[in-house]
A and B are shown apart, each in its own frame.
Chain A
Amino acid sequence: MRSLLLAVLAAYLNAAIHSILAFVNKRRSLQRVAEWSMAAGFILHTTALIADWVIDGHYPLFFLRETLSFLAWAMVAAYALVLYRYQAQALGAFTMPLVSVITFVALVIRTSTQGTPAGFSTTWLFPIHTTLLIFAYAAFFVVFMASVMYLLQERELKLKTFSAIFHRLPSLSTVNELATTAAALGLTLLTVGIATGMVWSSARDGRIWHNDPKEIFAVLTWLLYFLLIVYRSTAGWRGRRAAWLGVVGFALVLCTFVGTRFLGGYHVFG
């Protein structure tokens, strides 16, 4: 399936280049190219994932290579939703390059494929657990991007000096709403994702908690986003402070996703 993923990468790269050009030049025609290219990449990517599933015989979200590919796919899906709902094209200029890099890494990385995932495929809970969490990561990425856009613009509005980038970003209220919605969605996904993981784990080894780094970070992440949502809805916590939480939260997400791979523990995979 490498050739198919190569085509996916080509489409994403093209989308990334055109997104950046559209961002810089504010040209609608370039943006259209970027969007069509992304759509083509997404369809090919979906096909590649399904093909992997059929050929390899397990849900394509187990080895690191698969996880990265799946993550890129989920990020494209998240960006497409943002585009559809908020017309925040500026996000593409940052998302698509990152998606391209992740896809590239997924393409070239060589991970040991020992440790057959057979044991994990016996129940549907495990794939659901991982899929939900991947989508939660994508949602938190959107929160992060929206928060950064918020902070950049808020700073320039306060300093009253507008840079070229200022005119190219969506309005404060748009990025604020985007961050709130994405955080709520991400938190829901994270909650259900963690819950399914616990159920699966208790069915497998009779315990729901292993005290491993990934679990601890996941809970910390959950708490932070929970706080963010609660504060926003009750105390009218909005603007800069909420945006900073969105940024800090993403650092935790990165720790959960990447960091724990090096710390070992129960969650050794993906």
Chain B
Amino acid sequence: MSILLIGVNHKTAPVEVRELLAFSDEACAAGLRRLVDGEIVQEGLIVSTCNRVEILSATNSDQLQQTTKRVTDFLNTERNLPTGFLQSHLYTHTDDQAVRHLFRVASSLDSMVVGEPQVLGQVRRSYSVAVEAGTAGRILNRLVHHTFRVAKRVRTETGIAGNAVSISYMAVELGKKIFDSLKDRTVLLIGAGEMAELSARHLVNAGVSKVLIANRTAESAQRMAQAFAGEAVPFEQLAERLADADVVICSTNATNYVVTEAMMHRSRERRRNRPTCIIDISVPRNVDPDVSKEPNVFVFDVDDLESVISSNIREREREAERAELIVQSEVMQFHQSLRVMDIGPNIGAFKEKLHDLARAELERHRKRLGPLNAEQEAAIEALLVSTVNKISHPVLDQMKRTQEIGDTETVQALRDIFGLEE
């Protein structure tokens, strides 16, 4: 059995090509049914996200070339592309390489932003589409489940998903660093822009219980307050309400400082020195940089956030190197387990053959034995079964062991000796 992976991703194909190839869930299921014919392509699965379209298939080892052609033709005909159009974009991986690629994709090592969490969910969905379409068989089932295990291992044992790599998520990360838990904290949004909204969404998901919105136009503040079940604060009361906030996200179009040092000083006194985290994503800045001089007040402007993000990305890349080692060792493990699985049919065939022989002999000598009572009948049956098992056990043991070390010749020799059909 061989595993084949053919596809394009953000590194090999521009978005124009990727969107040409993209499959919706319905298209996936229908396409898979056309692709998997049970003869050349025996099992199939399509992973289609905005960054990649990949077709994973299982086939007989000696039909690898036909399968490659069939899958490539499938992509061309499905999307009415001229032959050769995809040539420069497609990559083809077989067996261990294909396994490794899938492991890397699911562990988010092949993503545009290393460690992003969505891709695993997308692989999961692709798999359930394939299962429903009936095109995931014993090889792909095993492979995909192993893939989920690897992704989980990478996530828990390395820090590739550790630190925030987007501005909107930095508020959560900094908040957690300062307050430990964001549970029951209050966030104040100054300005009701999109970025502020996204940050607030992340913060609420992380446990923030109260959202205050101060905006120059009261309507937008009201609208956002409704969206977050929060409270719209009149812009004039900003100075007083500042003290209520643990996290402040500032994103107005103002050209002057909306939060001044004097305001922050009063707020800090009223907060009795409890820390405040201020994130200023507006350009020009809305928070006086001098606010940072107040003790227990931490201010981050866009440049600060960007530089933290780039250091976080470097940290993720370092962790990714460790993840690659995990993937490598898992590929080897999967390789082993596939070999043992390959031998499965042999074991069945061998046992059946011996049992058939035993049953046939019994029938042949039946008459000579004369009438038997139930007890004797059972005893003879048991005798045969245990004889067959005694003979087959060391042979099967040997088969499994030689298979594990990749000695296919010996396996073939054993098959020949006992006259097992392929």
User: Does residue A160 face the partner (Cβ distance < 8 Å to B)?
Assistant: yes
Q: Give Cα A162–Cα B304 distance, bound, in whole angstroms.
A: 11
User: Does residue A241 face the partner (Cβ distance < 8 Å to B)?
Assistant: yes
Q: A162 contacts B311, CB within 8 Å? A: yes
Q: A160 contacts B180, CB within 8 Å? A: no
Interface residues on A, range: 20 to 34
Q: A153-B177, A157-B178, A173-B180 are known contacts. Are A239 and B163 too (CB-CB below 8 A)?
A: no
Q: A236 contacts B272, CB within 8 Å? A: yes
Q: A170 contacts B180, CB within 8 Å? A: yes
Q: A167 contacts B295, CB within 8 Å? A: no
Q: A158 contacts B177, CB within 8 Å? A: no
User: Does residue B329 face the partner (Cβ distance < 8 Å to A)?
Assistant: no
Q: Mark interface residues in A212-242 (1 if CB within 8 Å of B CB, else 0).
A: 0000000000000000000000001111110
A197 to chain B, nearest CB (A): 36
Q: Mark interface residues in B162-185 (1 if CB within 8 Å of A CB, else 0).
A: 110000000000101111100000
Which of B156, B174, B315 is A164 in contact with, Cβ under 8 Å?
B315
Q: Mark interface residues in B147-160 (1 if CB within 8 Å of A CB, else 0).
A: 00000000011010
User: Does residue A28 face the partner (Cβ distance < 8 Å to B)?
Assistant: yes
Q: B163 contacts A167, CB within 8 Å? A: yes
Q: A158-B292, A160-B308 are known contacts. Are A172 and B273 too (CB-CB below 8 A)?
A: no
User: Does residue A174 face the partner (Cβ distance < 8 Å to B)?
Assistant: yes
Q: A237 contacts B179, CB within 8 Å? A: no
B373 to chain A, nearest CB (A): 61
User: Does residue A161 face the partner (Cβ distance < 8 Å to B)?
Assistant: yes
User: Does residue A27 face the partner (Cβ distance < 8 Å to B)?
Assistant: yes
Q: A237 contacts B163, CB within 8 Å? A: no
Residues of A within 8 A of B275 (CB): 172-173, 239
Q: A157 contacts B273, CB within 8 Å? A: no
Residues of A within 8 A of B304 (CB): 160
Q: Give Cα A171–Cα B172 distance, bound, in whole angstroms.
A: 13
User: Does residue B300 face the partner (Cβ distance < 8 Å to A)?
Assistant: yes
Residue of A nearest to B296 (CB): A239
A236 to chain B, nearest CB (A): 3
A22 to chain B, nearest CB (A): 12
User: Does residue A26 face the partner (Cβ distance < 8 Å to B)?
Assistant: yes
Q: A238 contacts B311, CB within 8 Å? A: no
User: Does residue B79 face the partner (Cβ distance < 8 Å to A)?
Assistant: no
Residues of A within 8 A of B272 (CB): 236
Q: B273 contacts A171, CB within 8 Å? A: no
Which A residues, 40 to 94, have Cβ-Cβ distances below 8 Å to chain B?
A: none
Q: A239 contacts B295, CB within 8 Å? A: yes
Q: Give Cα A208–Cα B295 distance, bound, in whole angstroms.
A: 43
Q: B273 contacts A27, CB within 8 Å? A: no
Which of B178, B273, B300, B307 is A237 in contact with, Cβ under 8 Å?
B273
Residues of B within 8 A of A161 (CB): 307, 311
Q: Give Cα A29–Cα B153 distance, bound, in whole angstroms.
A: 12
Which B residues, 257 to 299, have Cβ-Cβ distances below 8 Å to chain A?
A: 272-275, 292, 295-296, 298
B216 to chain A, nearest CB (A): 28
Q: B179 contacts A167, CB within 8 Å? A: no
Q: Give Cα A157–Cα B275 distance, bound, in whole angstroms.
A: 12
Residues of A within 8 A of B274 (CB): 236, 238
Q: A236 contacts B180, CB within 8 Å? A: no
Q: B296 contacts A162, CB within 8 Å? A: no
Residues of A within 8 A of B156 (CB): 28
Q: Mark interface residues in A153-184 (1 if CB within 8 Å of B CB, else 0).
A: 10001101110101100111110000000000
Query: Quick one: which of A162, A240, A241 has the most chain B CB within 10 A?
Result: A162
Residues of B within 8 A of A166 (CB): 177
Q: A28-B156, A173-B180, A174-B180 are known contacts. Are A162 and B308 too (CB-CB below 8 A)?
A: yes
Which of A26, A27, A164, A238 is B296 in contact with, Cβ under 8 Å?
A238
Residues of B within 8 A of A174 (CB): 180
Residues of A within 8 A of B177 (CB): 153, 157, 166, 171-172
B274 to chain A, nearest CB (A): 7
Q: Give Cα A27–Cα B174 distance, bound, in whole angstroms.
A: 22
Q: A171-B180, A173-B178 are known contacts. Are A158 and B298 too (CB-CB below 8 A)?
A: yes
Residues of B within 8 A of A28 (CB): 156
Residues of B within 8 A of A236 (CB): 272-274
Q: 22 A-B Cβ contacts within 8 A?
A: A28-B156, A29-B157, A157-B298, A160-B300, A160-B304, A160-B307, A162-B308, A164-B315, A166-B177, A167-B159, A167-B162, A167-B163, A171-B180, A172-B180, A173-B275, A236-B272, A236-B274, A237-B273, A238-B296, A239-B296, A240-B296, A241-B295
Interface residues of chain A, those whose CB is within 8 Å of chain B, are: 26-29, 153, 157-158, 160-162, 164, 166-167, 170-174, 236-241
Known pairs A157-B298, A158-B298, A236-B273 / 20 extra A-B pairs, C-beta < 8 Å: A157-B174, A160-B304, A160-B308, A162-B308, A162-B311, A162-B312, A166-B177, A167-B159, A167-B163, A171-B178, A171-B179, A172-B178, A173-B179, A173-B180, A173-B275, A174-B180, A239-B273, A239-B275, A239-B295, A240-B296
